[in-house]
Amino acid sequence: MYKKISVIEIESTTACNSFCPGCIRYQPIGTKPFFKEKFPDLEPGLYRNSDTRINQHISLENIRTIFESKVVNTDEVFVDLIGTAGDPIAHPKIFEILQLIKKLNSNASFNIHTNAGLRTPKLFAQIGDFFKSTNTRYMFKFSIDGLEDTNHIYRRGVSWKKIIENAKAFIDAGGEATWQFIEFPWNRHQIKEAEQLARSMGFVGFEHRRGWVTDEEAYEQVESTNFGIFNKEIKKVDINEPVPDSLYIKDDCFSKEGIFINPDGTVHPCCMFNAEFANPGESRRQLEVLYKNFKNNLNENTLDEIMSENFWLLLKNTLTDKPCDTCHRMCGVYEKDGKRWVNENIKAELVL
């Protein structure tokens, strides 16, 4: 099973400076009858999801526990600071985290995603310089979804000026930056121009990705976003759409020897499971059953102990036996028009 861990996704923090309407941190309330039925008394706007524990930061002790454990691959470990509900750069000690990981595992390679409109050019320069001077393999992705007149439509509250200052500082210090552009209806016409800007600024890569929300929903969410009420907490809508059984599961955990760490120190097989706990409904209920008796907190157990828990065997057996809705939805292989496909947002590049 998990003889070693080679991929560690770490949600360093659930703090963020942005208010992206599609993020799990929030519950957007639009004007459609669907919302009116679920929330008859609420005015349209962007509310906080009460199931997401925001502003938690992973401790340096947890990082130490992970990278000192025997089960982590010392020859090659890929550390993905992606997160589901936070921006890694918002962790007050993000630089110390990178330094500590590298000190404990000199072969660690990294991936970081950030909206880039936070902290200071000094910090971005420090990180760029750190990667270069330590000869580290990494991807550093700036999530910039448009140009000056459009990025803030989805990346609510993110300052364009700050992004540009931070990107310049990172690149000038020797950092290799990738621009990740999520396509929405309002920025679709700017993809080429953004790519040209990326090249002229010295970005080494430009990635174009489809947005999670359909056009109509996206428009509605964005239009309905009302800054005045984002501090009010409500539960996310329980959509509870039935998940059809897939043909089989092409897992993204065991096969790549990967785990996910939540800032509260809990260990999960993947970010999808972690995110499911922020969504009420049948999928979460199934996970709660699977997690019963699973001692998965790094504040109470070592990673070696957590990885020898019976949970992993139970989970592995479900994949062939009776996969849960989340595994079907996220890693299930389906057949459509004679072709095999998986959830395209997660594994767009899968070739079967």
Ligand X SMILES: C[S@@+](CC[C@H](N)C(=O)[O-])C[C@H]1O[C@@H](n2cnc3c(N)ncnc32)[C@H](O)[C@@H]1O
Residues that bind ligand SF4 (CB under 6 A): 16, 18, 20, 23, 25, 85-87, 115, 249, 251-253, 269-270, 272-273, 319, 326-327, 330-331
Please give the single-letter amino acid code of residue 187.
N
Among 46, 77, 171, 213, binds ligand X (CB under 6 A): 213
> With contact defined as beta carbons under 8 Å apart, do 208 and 188 qualify?
no
- Considering the complex, what minimum distance in angstroms separates the CB of residue 76 from ligand X? 23
Is residue 143 at the binding interface for ligand X, with CB under 6 A as the rule?
yes
Nearer to ligand SF4, 102 or 315 (CB): 315
Is residue 117 at the binding interface for ligand X, with CB under 6 A as the rule?
no
Task: From 264, 255, 267, 245, select the one nearest 327 (Cα to Cα).
Answer: 245
Neighbouring residues of 114: CB distance < 8 A, sequence distance ≥ 6:
87, 88, 89, 140, 141, 142, 143
Please give the single-letter amino acid code of residue 154.
Y
Residues 159-198 that bind ligand X (CB under 6 A): 180, 182
Among 56, 111, 114, 326, binds ligand X (CB under 6 A): 114
- Considering the complex, what minimum distance in angstroms separates the CB of residue 128 from ligand X? 17
Is residue 276 at the binding interface for ligand X, with CB under 6 A as the rule?
no
Neighbouring residues of 138: CB distance < 8 A, sequence distance ≥ 6:
109, 110, 111, 112, 131, 176
Nearer to ligand SF4, 42 or 314 (CB): 314
Nearer to ligand X, 57 or 113 (CB): 113
Is residue 113 at the binding interface for ligand X, with CB under 6 A as the rule?
yes
The interface partner of residue 63, options being ligand SF4, ligand X, none and the CB cut-off 5 to 8 Å by kind, is: none
> With contact defined as beta carbons under 8 Å apart, do 230 and 45 qualify?
yes
**Which H, E and C letters describe 158-185, residue by residue?**
CCHHHHHHHHHHHHHCCCCEEEEEEECC
Among 106, 133, 193, 212, binds ligand X (CB under 6 A): 212
Rg of the chain, C-alpha, whole Å: 20
Is residue 8 at the binding interface for ligand X, with CB under 6 A as the rule?
no
Count of residues touching ligand X (by CB under 6 A): 18
The interface partner of residue 194, options being ligand SF4, ligand X, none and the CB cut-off 5 to 8 Å by kind, is: none
- Distance from C-alpha of 225 to C-alpha of 130, rounded to nearest angstrom: 38
| Number of C-beta neighbours around residue 69 at 10 A | 17
Nearer to ligand SF4, 20 or 72 (CB): 20
Is residue 83 at the binding interface for ligand X, with CB under 6 A as the rule?
yes
Stretch of 50-58, 81-89, 169-177, 301-309 contacting ligand X, by CB under 6 A: 81-89
Query: Cα 140 to the chain's mean position, in Å?
Result: 14
The interface partner of residue 213, options being ligand SF4, ligand X, none and the CB cut-off 5 to 8 Å by kind, is: ligand X
Sheet order of strands, 248-249 included: 248-249, 332-336, 339-341
- Considering the complex, what minimum distance in angstroms separates the CB of residue 68 from ligand SF4? 25
Greatest Cα pair distance in the chain: 56
Binding footprint of ligand X on the chain (CB under 6 A) = 16, 20, 22-23, 82-84, 87, 113-115, 143, 180, 182, 209, 211-213
